[in-house]
């Protein structure tokens, strides 16, 4: 960033959530659980869910249109689209190609990536050098998820956690000294078996773990993922700060992946910071996978919680297992 005549930052941002709300009290009627149990263990009170016949890409379309409008651009100004999703409507055509067509981004290449809940951070890591190279000028990143379609609604351990939604940003050149400072990403596939969503193949272990009739649903080892997540989030924040020569005290706001309030609180304690420095909205939306960070960022921006020139950290973890963090000097 220091050797460039410009920074790489967020030109526009938008999000979209489904209209349908499922509260904890609704879940009490579906599985053996209570509102108090869910809130105490997760921090979640309600989540937004697509209707059964409603595709996820429509959320991505609306989020993308809002981000493009917010950037003061037209769809034809976009020259690359990256969609992050672990729940595409189709394996092919990709979610990115569907959205490209729907919004009229006729000049854009389009590709999907899957880093589960860390997807948005991975997309930032991919987009930044593409703009630095000069080959692309305006990149649209869309995180679009429909976890309700792969949730086992008979499993009280997981069905209370997830929701649907989409967030989008347009990335491009900004004033020098502003925008993305550093992004760090990582993965450990050797522990990926702790969180799985089968697609075209299932082994015997996958089948045995899923005790209800529908086997093509999300399964996770909650305790193992919890331990991984707390450490991964704290380490990812520390690493991006160390590589940028900033301290945690320099950071105005941290926007973590919205998985579980106990994970966020655990990471805050590990870092020695107040939970108030972490922006949270999971009480309203639950875990919306890769969409959680851009949706939360959109809200924080609308609430004026970050001002131009202030530092923010975006941090996530997810299936794979993956993790990542971005330090950004806000340019809006």
Rg (CA), the chain: 19
CB atoms within 10 A of CB 113: 18
Q: Catalytic residue at 257?
A: yes
Q: What is the DSSP string of 157-218?
A: TTTTTB-EEEEEEEEEEE-TT-EEEEEEEEE-GGGGGGEE--SS---HHHHHH--SS--SS-
Query: Helix (H, G, I), strand (E, B), or coil: what is residue 266?
Result: helix
Distance of CA 209 to the CA centre of its chain: 26
Strand (E) or helix (H) holding 111: strand 109-113
H helical segments located in 210-281: 222-242, 261-271
Best CA proximity match to 23, nearest among 41, 4, 8, 38: 38
Token code pair at residue 270:
């590990």
| Inter-axis angle of helices 57-70 and 95-103, nearest 10 | 50
Q: Catalytic residue at 144?
A: no
Q: Which residue among 24, 144, 257, 260 is the active-site one?
A: 257
- Give the CB-side neighbour count of residue 221, counting CA atoms within 13 A: 13
Query: Helix (H, G, I), strand (E, B), or coil: what is residue 316?
Result: strand
- Residue with the two structure tokens 């305006």: 138
Q: Catalytic residue at 212?
A: no
Best CA proximity match to 287, nearest among 222, 236, 332: 222
Q: Which residue among 24, 114, 260, 287 is the active-site one?
A: 287
Strand (E) or helix (H) holding 293: helix 292-302
- CA dihedral in degrees (249, 250, 255, 257; nearest 10)? -60
Q: Which residue among 117, 144, 159, 184 is the active-site one?
A: 117
For residue 146, what are the β-bridge partners?
Answer: 164
Distance CA 92, CA 81 (A): 16
Residues annotated catalytic, as ranges: 117, 257, 287
């Amino acid at each position: 960033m220091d050797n460039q005549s410009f920074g790489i930052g967020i030109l526009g941002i938008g999000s979209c959530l489904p209209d349908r709300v499922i509260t904890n009290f609704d879940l009490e009627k579906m599985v053996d659980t209570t509102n108090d149990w869910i809130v105490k263990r997760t921090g979640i009170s309600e989540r937004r869910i697509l209707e059964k016949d409603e595709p996820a890409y429509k959320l991505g379309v609306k989020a993308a249109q809002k981000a493009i409008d917010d950037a003061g651009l037209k769809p034809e100004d976009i020259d690359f689209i990256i969609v992050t999703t672990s729940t595409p409507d189709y394996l092919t055509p990709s979610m990115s190609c569907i959205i490209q067509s729907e919004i009229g981004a006729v000049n854009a290449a389009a590709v999907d990536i899957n880093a589960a809940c860390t997807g948005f951070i991975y997309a930032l890591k991919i987009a930044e050098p593409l703009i630095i190279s000069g080959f692309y000028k305006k990149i649209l990143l869309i995180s679009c998820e429909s976890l309700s379609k792969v949730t086992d609604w008979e499993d009280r351990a997981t069905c209370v956690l997830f929701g649907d939604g989409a967030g989008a940003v347009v990335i491009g050149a900004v004033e020098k000294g502003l925008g993305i400072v550093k992004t760090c990403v990582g993965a450990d596939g050797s522990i990926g078996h702790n969180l799985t969503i089968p697609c075209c193949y299932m082994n015997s272990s996958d089948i045995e773990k899923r005790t209800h009739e529908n086997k093509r649903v999300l399964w996770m080892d909650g305790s193992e993922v919890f331990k991984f997540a707390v450490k991964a989030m704290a380490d990812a924040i520390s690493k991006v700060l160390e590589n940028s020569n900033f301290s945690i005290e320099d950071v105005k706001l941290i926007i973590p992946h919205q998985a579980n309030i106990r994970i966020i609180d655990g990471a805050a304690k590990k870092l020695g910071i107040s939970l108030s420095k972490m922006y949270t909205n999971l009480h309203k939306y639950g875990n919306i996978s890769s969409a959680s960070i851009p949706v939360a960022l959109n809200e924080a921006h609308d609430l004026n919680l970050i001002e131009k020139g202030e530092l923010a950290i975006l941090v996530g973890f997810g299936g794979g297992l993956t993790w990542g963090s971005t330090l950004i000097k806000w340019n809006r």
